[in-house]
Amino acid sequence: MTQVNWGERPGEMQDLVREIKKLKEERKAVILAHLYQRPEVQDIADFIGDSLGLSQQAAQTDAEVIVFCGVHFMAESAYILSPDKIVLLPEPEAGCPMADMITAEALRAKKKEHRDAIVVCYVNSSAEVKAESDICCTSANAVKVVESLPPDRPILFVPDRNLGHYVAKKTGREIILWDGYCNTHDQITLEEVKKAREEHPNALLMVHPECRPEVVAEADAVFSTSGMIRFARENPAREFLVGTEMGILHQLRKQCPDKEFYLVSDRLICPNMKATTLDKVYWALKDLRPQITVPENIRQGAVRALEKMLAITG
């Protein structure tokens, strides 16, 4: 793939954006950006939001090409739902450490230890792991998914122990937790939260359920990324403490310009989410690569788990 160093001066950035928009039209493409992406990447996207929601939106379009500005498992999900489209991941090395904490082989071994357990798989996982699971969930619907399952059977929740703990507390269900976690959310400490509250005593604290249990317990509201934006937009409060990756601040400030937002920690940066640049988006569209695909037998298994979730949550 040919490379070029685009400058960061305003005029050169505007030229790059124009070229991306031109290529997008030529390729009949749709650009998706997760809320943790760089602000300039979010600004050129057709859809901005949570990972699975973006894939669902793209599947409903007549686009021939999906450019997913996110991480690898997200692009896989886009392909799972739209196998007839070309799916591009501008930065192929953008992975998810939590998704890498579980493999299909390891899950199969765990299932043998708990043969009666229903496997609930967080969408932040590989296609292979989804295919080995009974049903998927998102951070927004995990509680509803678990509540829908037979009460007399244990649940094996993979791969996020913190989200699983949150679901167990909300539902009262017996849940076997996989020992995975999000490197970004798990590093938020209770001490940081308390310090942030002292600095901003009038602010509401909203956190992601991937945070540690003691952090979640301290929060005024627990939401997915899209849920946080909706909560901030609809709540009359003027100040909010934010317990998730810093990329969300761009949309929070755009959609709520009259409100103030403060990160609970200055360490809330996901390097994988920040790996995608406008330059890489341009070359992905130009060269139609790197392309992400999923073997059909694995795709079918993953679709089954996703469809079971959608049948419950809509």
Q: Is the pLDDT of residue 1 over 60?
A: no
CATH code linked to domain 185-263: 3.40.50.10800
Q: How confident is the model at residue 12 (pLDDT cuts 50, 70, 90)?
A: confident
The one-character DSSP state at 178 is P
Assign a CATH topology to domain 10-95+273-294: Rossmann fold (3.40.50)
My answer on whether omega of the bond before 257 falls inside 30° of 0, hence cis, is no
Q: What mean pLDDT value characterizes the chain?
A: 95
Q: Is the pLDDT of residue 5 over 50?
A: no
Mean pLDDT, residues 214-237: 97
Q: What is the pLDDT of residues 246-262, one digit of tens each?
A: 999 999 999 999 999 99
Q: Is the pLDDT of residue 134 over 70?
A: yes
Task: Supply the pLDDT for residue 13.
Answer: 87
Q: What is the pLDDT of residues 90-107, one digit of tens each?
A: 999 999 999 999 999 999
Is residue 102 within 8 A of residue 157, CB to CB? The reply is: no
SS3 223: coil
CA distance 100 to 189: 23
Q: What is the pLDDT of residues 36-91, one digit of tens each?
A: 999 999 999 999 999 899 999 999 999 999 999 999 999 999 999 999 999 999 99
What secondary structure, in 3-state letters, does 41-57 show?
A: HHHCCCEEECHHHHHHH
Residue 107, both tokens: 């899950």
Mean pLDDT, residues 116-125: 98
Specify which residues 222 forms β-bridges with: 207
Q: Is the pLDDT of residue 155 over 90?
A: yes
Domain ranges of the chain: 10-95+273-294, 99-181, 185-263
The pairing of strands 135-137 and 118-122 is parallel
Is this model's pTM higher than 0.85 or not?
A: yes
Q: Which helix (H) or strand (E) holds 24?
A: helix 10-27
Residue 279, both tokens: 């330059």
> Same topology for domains 99-181 and 185-263, yes or no?
yes
CATH code linked to domain 99-181: 3.40.50.10800
Contacts of 192 (CB under 8 A, 6+ apart): 264, 265
